[in-house]
Amino acid sequence: MPITNGKLTAREAAAIRYYTDPTSNTRNKWGESYIKAGYSECSGWANNASKVYKKDRVQAGIKAEIERMTDKSDWSVDRAKQMLLETRERAITQGTSSVEVSAVIAINRMYGLDKDASLDKQEAEALTPDELETLRKQAIELTKPTIKLNTA
């Protein structure tokens, strides 16, 4: 029975849990989370799932759950950005492989930070042609194979 006072229904709350749970096979898949939460898979279910997803209280619930998980894990976009910058600097100065960067990216994916989960979209920062060329050269350098000879 739907609740109209801004509180989530039991199925809405369950769908949000499935949608935001990093261990769920329906993570970031609203339609699958909707069905798994007990909603009917009748004709037109995808349209109904979309309507439920767009509800203000559901969007607020998703945002609150993501914030709760972020607070609980002490993980944030700022922390991830700092790790990426530090790893990039180490990779450049030490000539190490991109394994470290891959690990940081995997951590970001685990916490859902690889997708834009914000309700207010941010504009991407435009790069100048010189900045783009510098980044391209750095990427080439970081992906070059390194051969180390065993001199022992």
Phi, psi (rounded to 5 degrees) for 135: -65, -40
pLDDT digit string, tens, across residues 94-134: 666 666 676 677 667 766 776 655 555 555 566 777 877 78
Q: How far is CA 35 from CA 12, 31, 40, 43, 56, in A?
A: 11, 6, 7, 13, 20
pLDDT digit string, tens, across residues 10-43: 999 999 999 988 778 888 899 999 999 999 888 8
User: What pTM was estimated for this model as a whole?
Assistant: 0.47
Rounded distance, CA 105 to CA 86, Å?
Answer: 13
Helix axes 10-20, 56-73, angle to 10 degrees: 50
